[in-house]
Structure 1
């Protein structure tokens, strides 16, 4: 490519792209010239993102799939076609204690947050490797590395993705496919505000920046990890959490 930030001629699949971080990622990828496959479960919201991308001069199409269903994940990969950039962003989070987390809830966390990225990489990365080019970015969470008295199922599902990120970087890196992750701290989205209410702002005050993140800030990290500026970055999870405060006095 003539410009390391130019993604013209590339196709990107972004899961969970109808809202929040995923939507911000889809818009930025399209602005850089990529054709974006917008994934989600709601056709109305999906069409809104596609229309917004088109209004900005980009190209996109929507594919619906329930990532809790393994067969639909496989069909999503088939319907996406040739993919050069895969952003595994979709995820669910329920912050309950272990006794209050049902087997169904645990399985759903693993299915959507861990198994779906696993199946998509398994379906799409080999073709990337054959072409000698590809970029995968997994959106994880600081819950993968920070312990808390609630949300163990969510944290475990994201910790697994961080291990998979390093494994896939080793498995496909020699063939030209880079696999990295971004681990956001609290981010202001409709989903987090619905789940946590005003607690989102309180969580943001705990970091050095003293605020929650915005979807565009995480999307910019994703953009860096898929374009030529990060050509020497592979198997890394970039933490974007505003900076942790020191636990030492003072």
Structure 2
């Protein structure tokens, strides 16, 4: 176990059954948080929870489709109950990232991307942030992407959804920051996960454009998320932190 700066806190991590979300759940648990692993896949969720518990951490799984406002409401209710009446940290990691020409995106695909990448974080924050504000403390970290910062052919749908999340991050920082709730975001670059495996050599080619010259490991993104969730980032509010190997700096 690492330093337990998050001991006594309850952290809800969406999209936590794989990739960046799973790595974040594991790291927050290492730092003492009771982590609520939220996701669609019960088997993968159980595996993440079991791994955390085997290493001495505290975690529980919450099945969540997050397809609409009602599913978000149900998740926040279950998380609050399981957390003993409070959720102190929210990590909005759930997301989908279909790539392709704009003309080939179906209306259903457009709706699915915005429902999960934009509306779900909105509904979760709307339900959890006021309670955090009432307690005078809390941390929310949104997982965005480097392609929210610049245009890339074939990534208009995904990039625009995360650009909306970036603006929400700043607006929520202004809305809830005065009551002690810090809201920030990370912008990952190309990251090796199960979800990006299908990109094959394309992932390496994308990563080669950055000074780091390689894809990130999910744990590297999780470290940035954990920083923003913890007290060492106590004076960081409304920040959009690039964790992209330097791609948006050049």
Does TM, normalized by the shorter one, top 0.5? yes
Structure 1 unaligned runs (5+)? none
| Structure 2 counterpart of 1:17 | 16
Worse-superposed segment, 200-209 or 127-136? 200-209
Structure 2 counterparts to residues 145-184 of structure 1, below 5 A:
145-184=149-188
Change (3 A) 1:136 1:246: closer
Alignment partners' CA distance in 2, 1:9 and 1:228: 13
State the Cα distance separating 1:44 from its structure 2 match.
0.6
| Structure 2 counterpart of 1:35 | 34
| Structure 2 counterpart of 1:200 | 203
Alignment partners' CA distance in 1, 2:100 and 2:229: 34
TM-score scaled to structure 1, two decimals? 0.95
Deviation per CA, 1:210-232: give whole Å up to 9, x if none.
Answer: 10111000000001101111100
Alignment partners' CA distance in 2, 1:71 and 1:93: 23
State the Cα distance separating 1:184 from its structure 2 match.
0.5
Counterpart contact for 1:208–1:245, Cα < 8 Å: no
TM-score scaled to structure 2, two decimals? 0.95
For 2:222, which of 219, 224, 249 is the aligned residue?
219
Alignment partners' CA distance in 2, 1:24 and 1:244: 22
SS at match of 1:239: strand
Structure 2 counterparts to residues 1-250 of structure 1, below 5 A:
6-81=5-80, 82-194=86-198, 196-244=199-247
Alignment partners' CA distance in 2, 1:124 and 1:246: 34
RMSD: 1.5
Counterpart contact for 2:4–2:30, Cα < 8 Å: no
Question: Which stretches of structure 1, 4 residues or longer, exceed 2 Å deviation after superposition?
Answer: 244-247
Tell me how many residue pairs correspond in the alignment.
244
Deviation per CA, 1:101-150: give whole Å up to 9, x if none.
Answer: 01110010000000000000000000000001100000000111121111
Deviation per CA, 1:38-91: give whole Å up to 9, x if none.
Answer: 001011111111111100101111011111232111100111002100000010
Structure 2 unaligned runs (5+)? 81-85
